[in-house]
A and B are shown apart, each in its own frame.
Chain A
Amino acid sequence: MTELPETPRPSQGPGEVAVVYAGDYVNKMSGQRIERECLTRMERGCRALVINFRDTELVNSIGVSILLGVIDEAERRGARVAFSNVSLHTLKLFELLGLTRLVVLADREEDALATLEEFSTTPPGH
C-alpha cells in the first residue's frame, strides 16, 4: 500500500489549520507518521487539524488507538480535530468506537477547513 507524502501543504503559522493525509492503511507505522505530523503542527501553534481519510481503506486497532491519542493531545493543547473524506466502512467503525463523538466530521476537506477556520480564529476562552 502506498503512503502519501508527509507534508502535503506548506507549514502553517500559529492559529492556522493543518491538513494531514492518512494514507490507505492506518496501522502502527502510518499511524505514528500521522501522530508525528499532527504533533509537529500543534507544536508550531496550529490549533485545528484536519485528518483527511480520502485514501483510507482500512484502520486497524493500533491505528484507532493512535488517532485517539492525537485527539487527546489536541484536547490537552486546546486544539480541535476534524476527520474528512471518511469512507462508510471506516465511519461505521469510528462511530462504534466513539471517535466520531470527539471530532468534527466533514464529507470533504474544504468543509472541514471551513468549520475549523471558524474555530481557529476564535481566541481561546471565547
Chain B
Amino acid sequence: MSDSTRMVLHAFAALADLGEEIAETSDFEEMVRSALHVVLGAMGIRRGAVAEFDREHDALHFVAARGYDEELARDFSLTPRQHTSKGNGNGAGSLTHALQDFARVEHEVHDRFAGAGVEVVTPLVVRGELVGVILLGGKASGESFTQEDRELARALGRHVGVGLHNHRLLREVARRAEENQRLYESLKGSYNDTVRAFAAAIDCKDKYTQGHSERVGKYSEIIAREMGWKDEEVEAIAIGGYLHDVGKLVVDREIINAPYRIDAKQSSELNRHPAAGYEILRPINHPFADIPLMARYHHERPDGRGYPEGLTDEQIPAGAKIVSLADSFDAMTTDRPYRRRRTFDEVVADFRRNAGRQFATPVVLALCRALLKEARGETRPRQMMRLLGRDYVEERTLPALEQLIADLESGPHTTVMQA
C-alpha cells in the first residue's frame, strides 16, 4: 500500500470517527474535545484548539484546546469592526459575510497567537454562517502543511461546524423554551389575579357572603386533591370554584342581599345565575377546559332535581359536582342574614342524607376524608380548619364523621371519579 493510500484511508477513518463522536457524544465540550482529537490525529498535529465564533459579541469562545492551555484564554474579543456589515441581523448570513468574518478572525488569530505556533486557521462555516474556527499548530513530522492537509482540515471542519451549529440551535431552543415558560407563568399569574379580582367583585355584590367564592375555590381544590386529581386539574377546579357564581353579577342586588327567604319569583331570578355565568365565561379562552361548565352546572344534582337543566349523575361534569358540594358546604358553614350556620353534627347529618341525592357520593366521601385528616392533624396546612374556625370541628363529632366515611365506603356509589 502506498503512503498516500494509507493517508487517505486514515483520513476516511477519521471522518467516520468524527461523525460518530458528533452524533453520539451528548456532552458538548466532550464532543468538541473528541472532534479536536480526531482532527489532530488525522494529520499528526501536536497542538490545536476549537473556538466558537460569537457574532453578537464579536468574540471567540475556546471550547477545547490541546497543547495551548496556557496561551489561550477562555474568551477572545475581536477588535471592533470598522465599516463592515454586521450581517442581516437574524444570525443567518451569506457566504460573503462568513468569509468576511473569517478573514478578520484569521487575521487576528495569527496576530495574537503567532508566538504560540498557530500555523493554520480553519473556518467552520454552516449555511453561510461562521460558527467557529479550528487553530492548528505544527505537524509532528515537522513538514509544512500541504494543500491536501488544508483541504482535509476543511472537510473535517465542516463536521465540527455542524456539531457546533447544532449545539447552538439546541441552546437557542432551550432559551426560547425557558422564555416561553416564563411568559406562560406570567400570563397564568395575570389570569389568576384576574380570576381573584372577579371573585372579589362577585362577593362584593353580596354583603352577606364575603369571601364565599374564594372559600369555594379552596374547598374544591382540597376535594379534588383528595380525589387524586392531577395538579393542573386541581388548579382548574380552584378557578372553577372562584368563578362559579360569576352569573350573580347580572342578578339584581336586592334579591342577592334580601335579609329574608326570597319568594318564588325572586328565586327564579336568582336561579338564572348558573346559565348567566356560563354565558359570561364561555367566550373566554381559559387555560383549563370545563370552567364555564362548572359555573353552569354547579346547582345540578345527581338525583335530577337540580337546575338549570335537571341533569342526572352521569350527565353532570365531575368538576361541577365538586364545586356544587364546596358551594353547599360553605353555605352550610357560614352565617346568612336569615339563619345561623349549622353545627358540624348537622353538616355530617346533611351529607349522610344527601349523598347520592343532592351531592355525588365520591365527592362527599373525599370532603369527609379531607376534613377528618385535617381534624386529626394528619395534613398541613390545615386550610379547612382555618376557614371554618378553630373550634368548629369538635373532637366529639369525629366518630360520626368516621362512621359516615365507613358507610359511604361500603355503599354502592363510591367508584373513583376522575376529572
User: B314 at interface (Cβ–Cβ under 8 A)?
Assistant: no
Given A68-B140, A98-B140, A98-B142: A62 and B37 interface contact (C-beta under 8 Å): yes
A6 to B79 CA separation, bound complex (whole angstroms): 49
| Partner pick for B41 among A61, A72, A96, CB 8 A cutoff | A61
A61 cross-chain contacts in B, Cβ below 8 A? 10, 13-14, 17-18, 37-42
Residue A92 CB within 8 A of the other chain: yes
A99 at the interface (CB under 8 A from B): yes
Contacts of B14 in A (CB 8 A): 60-61
Q: Which residue on B lies nearest to A60, using beta carbons? A: B17
Assess the B37–A65 pair: CB atoms within 8 A: yes
Which residues does chain A contribute within 8 Å of B37, judged by CB atoms?
A: 28, 61-62, 65-66
Residues of B within 8 Å of A99, CB to CB, are 44, 140
Per-position 1/0 for B285-307, Cβ under 8 A of A: 00000000000000000000000
Report yes or no: B38 in contact with A101, Cβ–Cβ below 8 A: no
Residues of chain B in range 198-220 having any CB-CB distance to chain A below 8 Å: none
Residue from B13, B36, B40, B142 whose CB has the most chain A CB atoms within 10 Å: B40
Find chain B residues with CB under 8 A from A14 CB.
none
B67 closest partner in A (C-beta): A72
Closest to B42 in A: A61
A69 in contact with B44 (CB, 8 Å): no
CB-defined interface of A42-67 with B at 8 Å, one 1/0 digit per residue?
A: 00000000000000000011111110
Contact of A65 among B10, B38, B142 (CB under 8 A): B38
A35: min CB distance to chain B, Å: 11
| Complex: A99 Cα to B41 Cα, angstroms | 10
Minimum CB–CB distance from B145 to chain A (whole Å) comes to 12
**Nearest CB of A to B281, in Å:** 61
CB nearest neighbor in B for A31: B37
Q: Identify which of B7, B18, B39, B43 gathers the most chain A CB atoms within 10 Å of its CB.
A: B43
Give min CB distance, B391 to chain A, whole Å. Answer: 71
Counting contact residues on chain A (CB < 8 A from B), the size range is: 20 to 34
List of A residues within 8 angstroms of B84 by Cβ: none
Could you say which residues of chain B place their CB within 8 Å of the CB of A64?
A: 40-42, 44
- Whole-angstrom distance from the CB of A89 to the nearest CB of chain B? 9
Q: Confirm or deny: B57 has a beta carbon within 8 angstroms of a beta carbon on chain A.
A: no
Tell yes or no: A102 within 8 A of B by CB.
Answer: yes
Tell me the minimal C-beta distance from B135 to chain A in angstroms: 15
Q: Mark B4-26, 1 if CB is under 8 A from A, else 0.
A: 00110010011001100100000
- What is the distance, in angstroms, from B121's C-beta to the closest C-beta of chain A? 19
Residues of A within 8 A of B282 (CB): none
Neighbour of B66 across the interface among A28, A69, A93, A97, CB < 8 A: A69
CB distance from A84 to the nearest CB of B (A): 19
Rounded to whole Å, the gap between the CB of B11 and the closest CB of chain A is 8
Q: What A residues does B39 contact at CB under 8 A?
A: 61
Complex CA gap A65/B48 in Å reads 10
**Contact-size category for B:** 20 to 34
Contact string against A for B residues 24-53, beta-carbon threshold 8 Å, 1 for contact and 0 otherwise: 000000000010111111111111000000
Q: Is the interface of A mostly helix, strand, loop or mixed?
A: helix
- Inter-subunit contact B140/A62 (CB<8 Å): no
Task: List chain B residues, Cβ under 8 A from A72.
Answer: 46-47, 67
Q: Closest approach, in angstroms, between the C-beta of A62 and any C-beta of chain B?
A: 4
The distance in angstroms between the C-alpha atoms of A28 and B142, with both chains bound, is 25
Complex-state Cα separation, A66 to B36, whole angstroms: 11
Within 8 A of B (CB), among A78-97: 92-93, 96-97
A62 to B37, CA, bound (A): 5
Closest to B48 in A: A65
- Contact at B40–A98, with CB atoms within 8 Å? no
Q: Report whether A93 and B10 are in contact in the complex, using a CB–CB cutoff of 8 Å.
A: yes
**Complex: A92 Cα to B41 Cα, angstroms:** 14
Which residues from B are CB-within-8-Å of A28? 21, 34, 37
Given contacts A28-B34, A60-B13, A61-B13, contact A68 B141 (CB under 8 A): no
Q: Are A102 and B140 in contact (CB under 8 A)?
A: yes
Check if B336 is an interface residue, CB within 8 A of chain A. no
Q: Which residues of A contact B46 (CB under 8 A)?
A: 68, 71-72
B151 to chain A, nearest CB (A): 16
Q: Is B143 positioned at the interface, with any CB of A under 8 Å from its CB?
A: yes
Chain B hits for A63, CB < 8 A: 41
Interchain CB contact under 8 A, B17 and A65: no
A66 to B66, CA, bound (A): 10
Please give 4 more A-B residue pairs, beta carbons under 8 A apart, in addition to A61-B40, A62-B41.
A60-B14, A68-B46, A72-B47, A96-B141
**8 tightest A-B contacts by CB?**
A98-B141, A97-B44, A98-B140, A61-B41, A65-B41, A64-B41, A61-B14, A65-B37
- Using CB atoms and an 8 Å cutoff, list the residues of chain A in contact with chain B: 27-28, 60-66, 68-69, 71-72, 92-93, 96-99, 101-102
